[in-house]
Amino acid sequence: MSDVIALPNASGPRDTLGRQLHDLRISVMDRCNFRCPYCMPKEQFHEHYKFLKPVERLSFEEIIRVTQLFVANGVKKIRLTGGEPLLRPNLSELIGELTSLNGVEDVALTTNGILLAKHAAELKASGLNRVTVSLDTLDPDVFAQMSGGFRGVEQVIEGIEAALLAGLSPIKINCVVQRGVNDHTVLDLIERFRDTGVIVRFIEYMDVGNRNHWSRERVVTSQELLTRINERWPARAAQENYHGEVAERYVFEDGKGEIGFISSVSEPFCGSCTRARLSSEGVLYTCLFATEGVDLRAPLRAGKTDDEIRDLIRSIWLARGDRYSELRAGLRANEHPIKKIEMYYIGG
Ligand SMILES: C[S@@+](CC[C@H](N)C(=O)[O-])C[C@H]1O[C@@H](n2cnc3c(N)ncnc32)[C@H](O)[C@@H]1O
Ligand code: SF4
């Protein structure tokens, strides 16, 4: 396959704002078995929607090769996402190869959890360290509303339990909070997972893509949520686990675990963003809110050498200046809405 030497401790290039390349999020599948209205509203992603053909997606061999070239540029952490990554056949095989790459320190997965019970044990056996499961509510009707008409809270819970049993740790839950939709169910979610070791993290509803009809009124800020949670279970801020951690951590005063807040709308964290994102068809994006990316699949398939592609990645990162979340207020006031990449396409 590849003859690249992925330097185990290669330090990444720094972008124009001094941020060092460190993490790579790989979307392994553009399709999804849900239609969450905030991500893939079913009016747009209907049965005739043209998803990628299998041959258009990066093959496992291509993903491994390009990952090595990212590692040679300083990447140490990999997160597999989608779409729904567990829809990608034989995902565990890919994970097995990624976890054994020289220089890769951590491989994680974000999933909607609906297929997790089936795959948890094999994922663990393949070397996966940990898993993040998206679960917006325990209320079956609200769940159906937020997944685009699908039921399955019980299945997701079974998936989380199977992951716990398999030893995937820590398990984190991502909950996107929308005012008037699921914010009244947040305390129930915490109650269910407090004292289980599972960490629930609340994500401010974001204006990713152009299709989710985002409005600021629907955003429940982390501060507001924290005030509500504090009234029931007092919690205090805890130190970040590592520099650039996306979620702000809070531990319960009674010692029964922790929760997290991802406040990309109210408190943008662009300044510490060290993440590159690769779409299922191999386009590299340097921001979740990017307007365009650079195709890596073409050079991969055109016989470019490892050195050439590694240098291409480096040059893209060196030129990076994205800080969309910090600029959001000004940009939204703009008369011409910018075209952004959809979340399902590059993952969260
Ligand atoms: C795009 S999904 C892909 C992986 C998998 N299908 C899942 O749902 O976990 C990754 C994460 O992005 C989150 N997400 C999607 N659209 C969002 C939005 N508009 N605002 C905030 N988070 C969003 C999801 O809740 C999920 O936790
Ligand atoms: S958030 Fe995840 S589960 Fe929901 S539509 Fe997007 S990719 Fe699918």
Ligand nearest to the CA of 247: 1
CB of 135 closer than 6 angstroms to any ligand 1 atom:
no
Nearest ligand to the CA of 108 is: 1
Gap between the Cα atoms of 239 and 229, Å rounded? 19
Pocket lining for ligand 2, CB < 6 angstroms: 32, 34-36, 39-40, 82-84, 112, 134, 344
Structural contact between residues 280 and 28, judged by C-beta atoms closer than 8 angstroms: yes
pLDDT for the residue numbered 11: 78
pLDDT tens for each residue of 295-339: 999 999 999 999 999 999 999 999 999 887 878 766 654 444 556
Distance from Cα 344 to the centre of ligand 1, integer Å: 8
Question: How far away, in angstroms, is 40 Cα from ligand 1 center?
Answer: 10
Choice from 153, 214, 343, 346 to test ligand 2 binding pocket (greatest atom count within 8 A of CB): 343
The rounded distance, in Å, linking the Cα atoms of 40 and 68 is 31
- Flag whether the pTM goes above 0.85: yes
User: What are φ and ψ of residue 131, in 5° steps?
Assistant: -140, 145
pLDDT at position 290, please?
A: 84
* Shortest-distance Cα residue to atom 13 of ligand 1: 348
CA of 145 to the centre of ligand 1 (A): 15
Residue 333: the pLDDT is 46
Task: Tell which residue, 187, 133, 192, 195, has the closest CA to residue 159.
Answer: 133
- Rounded CA-CA distance 283/277 in Å is 8
Q: Give, for ligand 1, the residue of 79, 131, 160, 176 to mutate: max count of ligand atoms closer than 8 Å to Cβ.
A: 176
**Comparing C-alpha atoms, which of 34, 38, 46, 44 is closest to residue 151?**
34
Query: Any idea which ligand is nearest the CA of 31?
Result: 2
Q: How far apart are the first and last CA of the chain?
A: 29
**Torsions phi, psi of 118, nearest 5?**
-70, -35
Q: Whole-angstrom Cα distance, residue 121 to residue 340?
A: 37
* Cα–ligand 1 centroid distance for 268 (angstroms): 17
86 lines ligand 1 (CB under 6 A): no
Side-chain-facing half-sphere of 252: CA atoms under 13 Å: 19
pLDDT in tens, the chain (348 residues): 444 444 444 578 999 999 999 999 999 999 999 999 999 999 999 999 999 999 999 999 999 999 999 999 999 999 999 999 999 999 999 999 999 999 999 999 999 999 999 999 999 999 998 999 999 999 999 999 999 999 999 999 999 999 999 999 999 999 999 999 999 999 999 999 999 999 999 999 998 766 667 888 999 999 999 999 999 999 999 999 987 788 999 999 999 999 999 998 998 888 899 999 999 999 999 998 888 999 999 999 999 999 999 999 999 999 999 887 878 766 654 444 556 667 766 666
Reduced to 3 states, what is the DSSP secondary structure of residue 46?
coil
CA 42 to chain CA centroid, Å, is: 21
Does any ligand 1 atom lie closer than 6 A to the CB of residue 84?
yes
- Taking the centre of ligand 2 as the mean of its atom positions, its distance from the CA of residue 41, in whole angstroms, is 10
